[in-house]
Structure 1
Amino acid sequence: MLSYPAAIPLSTRSLNHLAALIRTRRQQQRSRWRRLDPGRQALLALAHLRNGDTYTRLAAGFDIGVTTAWRYVHEAIDLLAATADDLATAMTRIRLLAYAILDGT
């Protein structure tokens, strides 16, 4: 039995926000059952995004298949991307700041 280390430097707010997006999506799709609940799926996706953990490691830690880990991460990324600002809005917000840090990853 493997356990996944939960020491990820993320806010509870980030985890709850993504879990709420996943929960809403599942209700819209009328998804009956999933291997992980929305909170655990959010943790899985954020662990991948924050730490760069491989799908194999995530799958082992969350006791799911590698394909399921990949699918859950990409579903969460799609949900986050849908809520992001478009480029014009982002540039307008950046112009109001004293400085901006851009990350191309």
Structure 2
Amino acid sequence: MLSYRAAIPLSNRTLARLADLIRARRAERRCRWRRLSAGRQALLVLAHLRNGDTYTRLASGFSIGTATAWRYVREGVDLLAALAEDLHAAVARAGRLAYAILDGTLIPIDRLADQKPYYSGKHRRHGLNVQVLADPIGRLVWASPALPGAVHDLTAARPI
């Protein structure tokens, strides 16, 4: 297998912040040993989120198993999700802006046993509907939960 070095267009501050969150979680759980340090785990998570690297590629690049890569990414994403604002705080922040951008996307998925709710007639494929609220610069303010693809964009954008 061939390997190469790659760059992630993110600041060191982002890496340090996520590594601090991971260290705190490990201390809270009294974790004695992990295959990767908190900094390397943070790098793995950011590589997956920013570059879209697959778990297999991440596992190979960080010399860990695929299941371990999945578990590390899941843990990092959960820590980042806990930092996210709730809908009311996001709407209050968006209210202070000159304008906000609301847009939706369909995240493609493989077919499931119960296919009908996930089929989007608009896109003519199966997927999950996610609505995103962004500021004028394009920074994420809020993202809706992933809903079945058959849910209309307006319905998905309404608060739960």
Q: Same fold (TM over 0.5)?
A: yes
Deviates more, 1:77-86 or 1:89-98: 89-98
CA shift for structure 1 position 98: 2.5
TM-score w.r.t. the length of structure 1 is 0.91
Greater strand percent: which structure? Answer: 2
Matched, 1:82 2:89: no
User: How far apart are the structure 1 equivalents of 2:38 and 2:86?
Assistant: 26
Give the percent of matched residue pairs that are identical in Structure 1 and Structure 2. Answer: 67
Q: Is the 8 A contact 1:42 1:76 kept in 2?
A: yes
Deviations 1:6-25 (A, max 9, x none): 41101111100000000000
Aligned residue number for residue 98 of structure 2? 98
Deviations 1:27-70 (A, max 9, x none): 00000000000000000000000000000000000000000000
User: How far apart are the structure 1 equivalents of 2:86 and 2:74?
Assistant: 20
Aligned residue number for residue 34 of structure 2? 34
User: How far apart are the structure 2 equivalents of 1:42 and 1:73?
Assistant: 8
Structure 2 residue identity aligned to 1:74: R
Give structure 1 stretches of 5+ with no counterpart: none
User: How far apart are the structure 2 equivalents of 1:87 and 1:12?
Assistant: 29
Residues 37 and 57 (structure 1), Cα distance of their counterparts in 2 relative to 1, 3 Å cut: same
**Greater Cα radius of gyration, structure 1 or 2:** 2
Aligned residue number for residue 10 of structure 2? 10
Aligned residue number for residue 72 of structure 1? 72
Residues 75 and 14 (structure 1), Cα distance of their counterparts in 2 relative to 1, 3 Å cut: same
User: How far apart are the structure 2 equivalents of 1:34 and 1:84?
Assistant: 26
Greater helix percent: which structure? Answer: 1
CA shift for structure 1 position 95: 1.4
User: How far apart are the structure 1 equivalents of 2:4 and 2:35?
Assistant: 16
TM-score w.r.t. the length of structure 2 is 0.61
Which aligned segments of 4 or more residues in structure 1 are displaced greater than 3 angstroms? 1-4, 101-105
Root mean square deviation of aligned Cα: 1.9
